[in-house]
Amino acid sequence: MKEPVTCEIIDNILVVTLDRPKANAIDVPTSQALGDAFISFRDNQELRVAIIIGAGERFFSGGWDLKAAADGEAVDSDFGPGGFAGLTELWDLNKPVIAAVNGLAVGGGFELALAADLIIAVEDAEFFVPEATLGIIPDSGGVLRLPRRLPKSIAMELLMTGRRMGVSEAKKYGLVNKSCSVETLRDDAIEWAREIAKSAPLSLAAIKSVVRETEAMDLETANAFMRSGGIDDYNKMLKSEDAKEGTNAFSEKRNPEWKGI
């Protein structure tokens, strides 16, 4: 039987492919496999950036496997330590993740993309959360993340109606960073990941930690908390050899050699 999740390492980049025809829907075993992939990425010091992409050209992911649900898989099933799709509740992942959206991102598939840090999508991709029309809500991050990523009224419209959002609208609101053709999506995502991987890994971790831990604070409170010593990744970055290496490399007009220490 074909594995629903495959992983490929390209240099210091992990490409995670969700491959469950026809809609790349996610049942419990698939969610747990995605979680294993992202936890392995988190714990592997050699890996800098991850990409999550769907196989095929029609679906990034159709979300929760409703056939599995009809067969008895419950909403409160154990989807793994990273939550649904392995990423939506992996709070301690302080490395960048790119969602390369190759088609429809539906329900939990949209929530998976929202859990990534950056989104690149094909030009005819669409994003929608139809859960309210099915008697449930997108509670794997969608109902929480969408109002933080979109104007509240637009987020509420999507959540309450299940309306589809196209790429041009998603780019207008900053939900999608880039768009491209389906033929170049994987290569474009890898090239983008390579650019991100040029930055110091401890700096990337500090950025994610500071943003996550201060996003509910006002600016003055957030700044004071960041400077107070309460964010471990920020403190580690400040005291790191890499912080010295960056300035040395700049003055010596050479590329830095990051060690992650």
Catalytic (active-site) positions: 111, 131
| CA gap 171, 179 in Å, rounded | 8
| CA gap 1, 38 in Å, rounded | 22
**Whole-number CA gyration radius for the chain:** 19
For residue 19, give the amino acid letter. D
Phi, psi of 107 (to 5 degrees): 55, -120
| CA gap 18, 7 in Å, rounded | 9
| CA gap 59, 26 in Å, rounded | 12
Residue 7 is encoded by which pair of tokens? 């992983």
Phi, psi of 15 (to 5 degrees): -105, 115
Contact yes or no for 60/54 (Cβ under 8 A): yes
Cis peptide before 22 (omega within 30 of 0): yes
Which residue shows structure tokens 């429809």? 104
83: phi > 0 → left, psi -120 to 50 → alpha, else beta; which? left
At a CB cut-off of 8 Å and minimum separation 6, what does 242 contact? 200, 201, 202, 203, 256, 258, 259, 260, 261
Residue 220 is encoded by which pair of tokens? 């003055």
